Amino acid sequence: MFFFFFQLFREFHLLTGTDIYKKTRHILEFYSENILASFSLVDNPINVALQEKMKQHTDEDVLKYMKMTATCLLLPDVFGEDPSLFVIVNDKVQVSTPVLEVKNPFNMDICEFSLYLEKERLTKVDDCVTALAALIAAFHVFGIKCPKQLSQTLNFLETLIFDMHSPYFSSMQAKEKEVGFQHPLT
């Protein structure tokens, strides 16, 4: 299974010149506090489970990991999009597009992340950063079109991963290739 991720990340790096794991980790670390704060007043099952589990831990690394996991799970909700096209928590995968399956997200001993495509598990990993990076890479490496009901979430992630300033990265990238546009050096 490790080999699959190595190959997927390697292909992504060859296609884009980007270290997707490093960028994804930075996004989750940087945005977790703001996203969780915005959901603190909402009676969301993810937030409720996170708050309950955080009461049981004091280790800063464990708490940081839990917050990053919750942020990953809440990303589609931030944009008002369909979370079932992004991540399935403790349930069966029903969609054909790339999606994450997460079991026991805040139980450090038995937490499990899996990447699915065409309702088939491609691989299983132990952390949310690798899982989210693999999900994003799968769309690019396999050339899968983003579902409309998930476009803002993936555009947000792609914008940050590729250091773009537009939320419309996919369509913009195609247009730039078509006209031969190059970004100015800053």
Amino acid letter, residue 122: L
Asked whether 113 and 128 are in contact (CB, 8 A), the reply is: yes
Q: Is the dihedral of CA 65, 66, 71, 74 positive or negative?
A: positive
Retrieve residue 31's tokens: 């945005």
What pLDDT score does 167 carry?
43
Retrieve residue 166's tokens: 């537009």
Asked whether 72 and 96 are in contact (CB, 8 A), the reply is: no
Q: pLDDT for 39-85, tens place per residue? A: 877 778 888 899 899 999 999 999 999 999 999 999 999 999 999 99
Label residues 129-158 b or e (16+ Cβ within 10 Å = b).
bbbbbbbbbbbbbeeeebbebbbbbbbbbb
Helix, strand, or coil (residue 12): helix
- Model's pTM, two decimal places? 0.81
User: Going residue by residue through the chain (186 aa), what tens digit of pLDDT does each one get?
Assistant: 545 656 777 777 777 778 888 999 999 999 999 999 888 777 788 888 998 999 999 999 999 999 999 999 999 999 999 999 999 999 999 999 999 999 999 988 899 999 999 999 998 988 999 999 999 999 988 889 999 999 999 999 999 988 765 444 444 445 445 434 343 333
Show the 3-state SS of 60-94: HHHHHHHHHHHHHHHHHHHCCCCHHHCEEECCCCC
Residue with tokens 């839990």: 66
